[in-house]
Amino acid sequence: MPTIKHNTITCDVAVIGGGIAGLWLLNRLISGGYNAILFEQTALGSDQTVASQGMIHGGVKYTLSGTLTGASEAIADMPAHWLACMSGKGDVDLQGATTLSDHFYMWSSNSTLSKLTTFLASKATRGRINKVSKNERPAIFQHKNFKGSLYKLIDMVLDVPSVIRTLADNCQGRIFKIDWNKTQWHHNSLKDSTNNKGKNHTVALDFLYDEQDYRLEASQFVLTAGQGNEAILQELGVTLPKMQRRPLQQVMVKHHYPHAFYGHCLGTEMTPRLTISSHPCEDGCQVWYLGGTLAEKGADMAPDEVIANAKKELKELMPWVDLSDAQWATLPVDRAEPKQLNFARPDKAYASTTKEYSNIIVAWPTKLTLCPNLADEVISLLGQQPVTSSPAPDLPFLSPPPIAKTPWQTVFGD
Ligand SMILES: Cc1cc2nc3c(=O)[nH]c(=O)nc-3n(C[C@H](O)[C@H](O)[C@H](O)COP(=O)(O)OP(=O)(O)OC[C@H]3O[C@@H](n4cnc5c(N)ncnc54)[C@H](O)[C@@H]3O)c2cc1C
């Protein structure tokens, strides 16, 4: 076999996967002086990021058992971190992104009220929740038939596509669409390797475009491909970490009801009974995007059944809201997380090296909110790796990927 002569390209860090995790990390790496690039296979924000509800929260919804869990501790500082970035004073410049709401609500039916009240009375919530008096209620809860109790959380909801666009705009010339039909992993064994698979093994990426061979040698590859990490790890024969999927079936309701709303209705379970976020459409309508227990329990149901449950929930919780002209659809989508004992929810962002290869880091943020935490974890794993501060490598055979459409744009054609 003749040896193929590759055009060798080098960089400090190559990030694989352009969801919020990869994009946020790329911003941090570039501002830290790393010669970093990112590869996305479809469109930026595909899979979970554009399907998310955009809530940047301090974890209060995870305190519904009445105690602060690991999750709520790790996440508590995140809203302040994002706020600083939105105002141009943080470690990532998000001034181009749009805030949909600077708060969201938590409301309860009378049956869950006492547990919530006891918890809120404790100091554990660090002043992030305020009870809303009757005359301060938002329009949707001004109705005389509303009998529950309402709290306001000082957290925020972001327009996710605008966040993705801003993060991508900050890194022009460093984000590329990768075609895996023309790209493959190459396994390097360093000369002093003693065992078959160990820390002396590294990977590179081989590209075949326009009959030219290119090899990208990155000091470090960081996998932030969400559920796509699973297939990459399998292909590379990496045994740990493993991934778990948390399936959901979200409901989308496009309607002319005038009020936007962002909030969780508390039920008897650890997760909110219903979470509503509102997303503007170009034609002036809004989409209410429904998650929470409705979406978790609906994961295996037929779409019609989940929609029927959503209608029942809204009728029970907000009977005065007229959605008679609404269009309904569902979105089956999985959350991708590092595998936990007993399928627990991970407490914080996850990043780890692998025992098989010295230049692969695997990462899942587990929540949009935790991306700043994820970037810190990855950068700390990069440790003493030299920063070359070189200009972006020249990859003229690759073009930039588009930004993913939201699920409601895809379904309702807005
Ligand atoms: C319905 C829903 C609602 C949510 N709501 C919230 C919320 O309100 N607040 C919150 O904090 N979190 C929320 N989350 C969680 C949050 O969305 C995710 O934790 C976060 O978006 C994960 O980002 P990511 O970049 O790791 O993965 P993803 O967003 O899944 O992005 C992965 C990217 O990698 C690309 N990719 C995959 N395979 C490859 C490959 N082989 N090569 C190159 N690219 C590849 C994909 O195309 C995609 O663009 C929600 C999640 C869901 C599903």
Q: pLDDT at residue 328 above 90? A: yes
Rg (CA), the chain: 23
414 domain residue, yes or no: no
Q: Which of 293, 317, 337 is the C-terminal boundary of a domain? A: 337
Q: Which two tokens stand for residue 287?
A: 């989409």
CATH assignment of the domain containing 96: 3.30.9
| Index of the ligand 1 atom closest to the CA of residue 178 | 43
pLDDT tens, residue by residue, 285-310: 999 999 999 999 999 999 999 999 99
For residue 1, being part of any structural domain is answered with: no
Centroid of ligand 1 to alpha carbon of 311 (angstroms): 27
Instruction: Determine the average pLDDT of the residues in 261-276.
Output: 87
Using a 6 Å cutoff on CB, does residue 368 contact ligand 1?
yes
Task: Find out whether the beta carbon of 245 lies less than 6 Å from any atom of ligand 1.
Answer: no
For the chain, what is the mean pLDDT? 90
Query: Which residue puts its alpha carbon closest to atom 27 of ligand 1?
Result: 226
Domain boundary among 296, 322, 337: 337
35 DSSP assignment:
-
- CATH code of the domain in which 371 resides: 3.50.50.60
- Specify which residues 131 forms β-bridges with: 151
286 and 322 share one domain: yes
**Mutation pick for ligand 1 pocket among 15, 48, 262 (CB with most ligand atoms within 8 Å):** 48
Distance (Å, whole) CA 47 – CA 336: 10
Please report whether residue 368 resides in a domain: yes
Task: Please give the residue range of the domain that contains residue 318.
Answer: 68-158+245-337
Residues 219 and 181 occupy one common structural domain:
yes
Q: What is the dihedral of CA 140, 146, 148, 152, to 10 degrees?
A: 20
**Which of the given ranges, 65-69, 259-263, 383-387, has the highest pLDDT on average?**
259-263
Query: How many structural domains does the chain have?
Result: 2
State residue 122's pLDDT score: 56
- 147 with 254, same domain: the answer is yes
Q: What integer pLDDT is reported at residue 193 of this predicted model? A: 45
The answer, yes or no, to whether any atom of ligand 1 lies below 6 A from the CB of 367, is yes
Q: Say which range, 5-9, 209-213, 308-312, 384-388, has the weakest mean pLDDT.
A: 384-388
Whether residue 148 is found in the same domain as residue 193: no
Residues 139 and 249 placed together within one structural domain of the fold: yes
Interval 27-31 mean pLDDT = 97
Co-location of 402 and 266 in the same domain: no
57 in any annotated domain: no
Ligand 1: does its nearest atom lie under 6 Å from the Cβ of 59? no
- Residue 17 Cα to ligand 1 middle (Å): 9
> What token pair was written down for 332?
């089956």
From 185, 367, 370, the mutation candidate for ligand 1 (largest count of ligand atoms within 8 A of CB) is 367
Which one of 294, 316, 337 terminates a domain?
Answer: 337
Q: Are 260 and 387 found together in one domain?
A: no
Taking the centre of ligand 1 as the mean of its atom positions, its distance from the CA of residue 4, in whole angstroms, is 37
32 located within any domain: yes
The answer to whether 358 and 8 are in contact (CB under 8 A) is no
Calculate how far, in angstroms, residue 47's C-alpha sits from the geometric centre of ligand 1: 5
Residue 169 shares a structural domain with residue 228: yes
Cα distances (Å, whole numbers) of residue 339 to 241, 280, 363: 7, 35, 12
Same domain membership, residue 298 and residue 402: no
Q: What is the pLDDT of residues 118-155, one digit of tens each?
A: 566 554 455 678 889 899 999 999 999 888 888 898 88
Please check whether residue 35 is in contact with residue 389, taking contact to mean a CB–CB distance below 8 angstroms.
yes
Q: Which residues contact 270 (CB under 8 A, 6 or more apart)?
A: 62, 64, 65
Higher pLDDT, 305 or 210: 305
pTM for this one? 0.95
Which is higher by pLDDT, 106 or 177? 177
Average the pLDDT over 304-328 and give the result.
96
Q: Are residues 257 and 391 in the same domain?
A: no
Separation CA 115–CA 268 (nearest Å): 9
Distance 226 CA to ligand 1 centre (A): 5
- In the prediction, which pLDDT does 70 show? 57
Q: Are residues 328 and 251 in the same domain?
A: yes
255 and 149 co-located in one domain: yes
244: CB partners within 8 A, 6+ apart: 336, 337, 338, 339, 340, 343
CB 55 within 8 A of CB 413: no
Is residue 211 domain-resident?
yes
2 lies in a domain? no
The verdict on the CB of residue 296 being under 6 Å from ligand 1 is: no
